[in-house]
């Protein structure tokens, strides 16, 4: 069994192999995650990944598996490793989407 398991239809279609998973969690802040994976496809469609939910499970030898569920909020190309291409996904919880409407205003029936 691999140490990192990912479950997402787009990543499954790409035959993505997880390389690393980094978490930043706090009591009074929104959790942020970074998932780095490699695949043979050179042109990954980032738009098909944005907003998608990804289920991640980390296998820990002494404590069992720990599940994570997060949404893709950013993606980037990290280069090439031998004959495969490496990509990095920024992930966060659904609360991240709620924080994106801060400082926005709607002005109705006004001329500019």
**What residue ranges define each of the domains in the chain, with the CATH number in brackets?**
4-99 (2.30.110.50)
Contacts of 104 (CB under 8 A, 6+ apart): none
Are 37 and 11 in contact by the 8 Å Cβ rule? The answer is yes
Higher pLDDT: 10 or 106? It is 10
Confidence of residue 102 (pLDDT cuts 50, 70, 90): low
> How confident is the model over 35-77, as pLDDT tens digits?
999 999 888 888 999 999 999 999 988 888 999 999 999 999 9
Question: What is the full DSSP assignment across 59-109?
Answer: EETTTEEEEEEEEEEEEEEEEEETTEEEEEEEEE-THHHHHTTTT-----S
23: which strand partners? 33
């Amino acid at each position: 069994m691999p140490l990192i398991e990912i479950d997402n239809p787009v990543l499954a279609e790409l035959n993505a192999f997880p390389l690393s998973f980094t978490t930043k969690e706090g009591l009074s802040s929104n959790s942020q995650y970074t998932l780095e994976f490699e695949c043979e496809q050179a042109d990954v469609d980032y738009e098909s990944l944005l907003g998608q939910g990804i289920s991640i499970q980390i296998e820990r030898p002494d404590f069992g598996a720990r599940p994570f569920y997060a949404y893709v909020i950013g993606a980037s190309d990290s280069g090439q490793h031998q004959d495969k291409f490496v990509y990095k996904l920024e992930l966060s919880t659904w609360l991240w989407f709620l924080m994106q409407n801060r400082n926005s205003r709607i002005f109705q029936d006004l001329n500019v």
